[in-house]
Amino acid sequence: MRTFDEIWAIAAERKGGDAAVEALMPELRTADEIRALSDDRVLATMARVVFNSGFNWKVIDKKWPGFEEAFEGFVPVRWKFMSDDDQDSLLKDTRIVRHGAKILSVRDNAILVCDLEDEYGSAAGAIADWPVTDQAGLLEMLKKRGSRLGGHTGQYFLRFLGKDGYVMSKDVVAALVREGVVEKEPTSKAAWKAVQDAFNTWAAQSGRPVAHISRTLALSVGV
């Protein structure tokens, strides 16, 4: 496994120098900024990545004001009690993408957000305080307790929320395979541990956010 500096050098050579790579690093929120988010924004972000999944993101972006109206601002305590009438109304609402399972995921994720509020004071606080050295554990929690938040969707949820962490894009996986961290996209607990350990090592070497390391890995492979 190369050092982070060696991987950065590969990315810089491919992308036209250090400044060009630096300009492509994702913006993140601090833990305090995430903690300050209201839980309706957490639920809205969950809904947005769920509806984005398998769909054209530009279409969802264009329709998003309609989603906010249809879901009345995504107040979790409102939607954890989604009724059959609510569901029927939303399935007819042209302001949103009328996908039954994804509409129901708003109810299920509202329950998760409310449960995290009970357990941690707020869902935003739970996510803000979750150690970046255990992103695999956070993703596992979202997958098990949330709805349709497994795989890349959970990773993009954290990125959209501004939480530091990796996104296992095709290019990131290719870079991890190249570095001997995994043999393919991780699915087992052992493989996810290897991924987390590698990111923790590179973070210790560089002092950079994990999200920057993730992007650097992608830039060292992608066109």
Of 117, 106, 118, 98, give the one whose Cα is nearest residue 81: 106
Check residue 56 and give its pLDDT.
87
Domains and CATH numbers, the chain: 4-28+166-219 (no CATH), 31-135+148-161 (1.10.340.30)
What DSSP designation does 27 have? Answer: P
* Residue ranges in the chain assigned as alpha helix (H): 4-15, 18-22, 31-35, 39-52, 57-70, 76-79, 84-91, 100-120, 123-129, 135-145, 151-161, 170-178, 189-206, 210-219
Instruction: Tell me the DSSP string of 45-76.
Output: HHHHHHHHTTS-HHHHHHHHHHHHHHTGGG-H
pLDDT digits (tens, 9 = 90+) for 155-211: 999 999 999 999 999 999 999 999 999 999 999 999 999 999 999 999 999 999 999
The number of angstroms, rounded, from the C-alpha of 188 to the middle of its chain's C-alpha atoms is 19
Residue 150 pLDDT > 70, yes or no?
yes
Of 81, 102, 78, 80, give the one whose Cα is nearest residue 90: 102
Sign of the Cα pseudo-torsion (44, 46, 51, 55, in order): positive
Enter the pTM of the model. 0.91
Residue 223 pLDDT > 70, yes or no?
no
Check residue 55 and give its pLDDT.
85
End-to-end CA distance of the chain: 22
Tokens of residue 139, six digits = 């993703």
Cα 149 from Cα 81, distance rounded (Å):
20
